[in-house]
């Protein structure tokens, strides 16, 4: 909305500036009237125009590409200030509309009250409203307001009557009512005030031109205008012989624009229109298949799903969790089986809201696109599991995917020493790993073989690890209290079951020792040994977490079962390496 308002205002300013510089001093008043009306419509319409540029790309085999713009989760709850700002802005806007709407209504009421309470005199297609109070002649649609005494004594010059009849005959009031209505809706745009003032002045040019075309002497007519012009108050929606316009009107009366100049100045509108369309319209680029055989999408780009915050769009069209599967099915309803293997699928993820992708994943699996895809890939595949020790909870900042660590060789050397140089890495989790307590059917086993369980690597020597971190200058804590490195070594020597959490920061490594099993506090995001592990698991399930036991992904139901059977089971929670939390159990 903000971009639309800026574009429309800039477009309006461009057309208004052209009028003041090029057209206002010419004698083509009728053309200028339609120019001003068209400028209003075009200025508010051009930002809605969309120019689509189609780029041909060759058809490729089915691909499932995930583009990550920002993996930082957007919390579901925003600050009160962020919620209040839109309310405040809409309140201010509504008050402005209310104020200017009331003003518009009062002006209309003032005119109609004068019509209703004063005598009327019909003359052809015009109606003279005879007022008892002193007033200058003014017009609103077919009503011409005149002083009753002057009208009855016939002291009003015929030139003035002709002038006002021109306003009534050409419906100049229609232009003013239109721009007054726009002023109510866009009350914050000052350009509309100048547009209205310019329109009224051009209406005076038209009325003067009509009178002079009857053969009236210009000097005589100017003297009459001076005699009847005044700064007296008249209704805002009416046309009156206003003194403030007199000087410019006299100048324009004597101006005769040549046909050559008229053609030249009107032709300049074409490049003005081109510049406006290019600058203030919307541009969109779509990819089309160069040799596409996919039914129903020969002019469409590959299916692009964009996830941003708690919103999702498909090929630029807004969707929702409720409509997601239906919107995908609407695109693929005419596809043949081979089409699903030829259609690329691009996923763009930008600041997803917590838990939103998990809900979207559930709906995606209901769609024909998922059911007919060759590999049955998830919308956003879960991360592979990684091995961990039985009693060490690792909390480490994850580098961006495309940025390799500058000290990768040093890290490999450290983990070889920490885990053992001969420890083989675990195989990645398969696309559809078996969950605990689930019996696979023979048909499914024939398609997706179940890998043999992989034993986790042996637990590192805790004392050696603490000594190594002490040499690196780490800061040590015991149950939340800071201790020295010597004290930490002594604690580990005396308690082989101590639990460790560490942050291997190159400059300021931190090692935290706990005498109780480590669990994640769901309220503060910190570590606390006091939280019930079963409550923590249930909270993680609500957050859309993935659960792993060794290399196998297990179901939330199996995770609850493990914790219920063994309250002292150790597990780690990784909230930074994926869009949803990843929970890995270290052993039973």
pLDDT score, position 177: 93
pLDDT grade for 294, boundaries at 50, 70 and 90: very low
User: What would the two tokens of residue 370 be?
Assistant: 């998922």
pLDDT at residue 437 above 60? no
For every residue of 204-238, DSSP letters joined together read HHHHHHHHHTTT--HHHHHHHHHHH-B-----TTS
Instruction: Return d(Cα 189, Cα 299) in angstroms, integer.
Output: 40
pLDDT score, position 320: 86
pLDDT score, position 102: 95
pLDDT at residue 286 above 50? yes
pLDDT at residue 406 above 50? no
Where b means 16+ CB within 10 Å and e means fewer, 189-202 reads bebbeebbebbbbb
pLDDT at residue 257 above 80? yes
pLDDT score, position 400: 40
From 25-34, 359-368, 425-434, the region with the lowest mean pLDDT: 425-434
pLDDT at residue 521 above 80? no
pLDDT at residue 231 above 80? no
pLDDT grade for 175, boundaries at 50, 70 and 90: very high
Indicate the pTM of the whole model.
0.49
Highest mean pLDDT among 114-123, 334-343, 409-418: 114-123
pLDDT grade for 199, boundaries at 50, 70 and 90: very high
Measure the N-to-C terminal CA separation of the chain; round to a whole number of Å: 56
User: What would the two tokens of residue 251 be?
Assistant: 């100048």
Q: What are the pLDDT digits (tens) for 67-80?
A: 666 555 555 555 66
pLDDT at residue 428 above 70? no
Q: Which residue has the higher pLDDT, 401 or 33?
A: 33
Instruction: Return d(Cα 549, Cα 566) in angstroms, integer.
Output: 14
pLDDT score, position 430: 43
pLDDT score, position 412: 47
Average pLDDT, the chain: 76
Highest mean pLDDT among 37-51, 292-306, 346-360, 508-522: 37-51
Other Cβ atoms closer than 10 A to 573 = 21
pLDDT at residue 60 above 60? no
pLDDT at residue 300 above 80? no
pLDDT score, position 179: 92
Residue 23: DSSP 8-state:
I
pLDDT grade for 318, boundaries at 50, 70 and 90: confident
- Secondary structure in 3-state letters for 144-202: EEEEHHHHHCCCCCHHHHHHHHHHHHCCHHHHHHHHHHHHHHCCCCCHHHHHHHHHHHH
| pLDDT (mean) for 244-261 | 82
């Amino acid at each position: 909305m903000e971009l639309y308002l800026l574009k429309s205002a800039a477009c309006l300013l461009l057309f208004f500036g052209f009028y003041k510089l090029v057209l206002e001093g010419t004698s083509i008043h009728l053309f200028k009237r339609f120019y001003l009306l068209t400028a209003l419509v075009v200025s508010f319409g051009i930002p809605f125009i969309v120019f689509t540029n189609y780029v041909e790309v060759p058809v490729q085999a089915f691909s499932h590409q995930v583009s990550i713009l920002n993996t930082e989760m957007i919390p579901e709850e925003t600050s009160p200030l962020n919620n209040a700002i839109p309310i405040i802005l809409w309140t201010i806007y509504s008050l402005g509309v209310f104020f200017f709407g009331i003003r518009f209504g009062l002006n209309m009421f003032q005119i109609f009250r004068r019509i209703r309470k004063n005598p009327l005199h019909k003359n052809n297609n015009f109606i003279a409203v005879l007022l008892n109070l002193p007033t200058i002649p003014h017009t609103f649609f077919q009503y011409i307001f005149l002083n009753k005494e002057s009208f009855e004594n016939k002291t009003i010059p015929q030139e003035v009557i002709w002038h006002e009849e021109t306003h009534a005959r050409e419906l100049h009031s229609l232009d003013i009512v239109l721009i007054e209505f726009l002023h109510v809706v866009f009350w914050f745009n000052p350009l509309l005030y100048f547009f209205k003032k310019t329109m009224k002045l051009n209406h005076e040019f038209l009325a003067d031109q009509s009178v002079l075309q009857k053969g009236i002497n210009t000097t005589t007519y100017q003297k009459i205008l001076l005699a009847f012009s005044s700064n007296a108050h008249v209704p805002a929606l009416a046309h009156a012989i206003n003194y403030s316009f007199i000087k410019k009107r006299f100048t324009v009366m004597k101006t005769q624009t040549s046909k050559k100049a008229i053609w030249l100045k009107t032709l300049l509108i074409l490049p003005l229109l081109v510049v406006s369309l290019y600058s203030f319209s919307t541009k969109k680029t779509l990819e089309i298949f160069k040799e596409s055989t996919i039914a129903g999408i020969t002019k469409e780009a590959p299916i692009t799903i964009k996830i941003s915050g708690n919103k999702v769009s498909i090929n630029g069209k807004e969707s929702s969790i409720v409509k997601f599967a239906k919107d995908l099915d609407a695109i693929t309803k005419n596809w043949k089986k081979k089409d699903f293997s030829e259609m690329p699928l691009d996923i763009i993820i930008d600041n997803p809201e917590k838990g939103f992708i998990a809900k979207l994943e559930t709906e995606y699996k209901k769609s024909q696109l998922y059911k007919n895809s060759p590999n049955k890939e998830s919308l956003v595949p879960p991360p592979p599991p990684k091995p961990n020790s039985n009693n060490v909870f690792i909390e480490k900042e994850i580098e961006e995917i495309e940025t390799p660590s500058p000290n990768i060789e040093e890290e490999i050397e450290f983990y070889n020493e920490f885990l053992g140089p001969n420890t083989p890495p675990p195989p990645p989790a398969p696309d559809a790993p078996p969950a605990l307590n689930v019996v696979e059917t023979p048909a499914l086993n024939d398609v997706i073989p179940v890998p043999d369980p992989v034993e986790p690597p042996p637990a590192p020597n805790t004392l050696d690890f603490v000594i190594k971190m002490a040499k690196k200058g780490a800061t040590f804590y015991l149950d939340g209290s800071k201790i020295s490195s010597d004290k930490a070594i002594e604690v580990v020597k005396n308690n082989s079951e101590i639990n460790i959490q560490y942050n291997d920061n190159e400059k300021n490594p931190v090692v935290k020792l706990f005498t109780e099993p480590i669990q994640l506090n769901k309220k503060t995001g910190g570590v606390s040994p006091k939280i019930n592990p079963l409550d923590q698991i249930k909270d993680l399930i609500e957050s859309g977490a993935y659960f792993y036991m060794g290399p196998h992904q297990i179901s939330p139901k199996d995770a609850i079962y493990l914790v219920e059977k063994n309250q002292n089971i150790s597990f780690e929670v990784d909230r930074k390496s994926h869009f949803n939390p990843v929970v890995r159990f270290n052993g039973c």
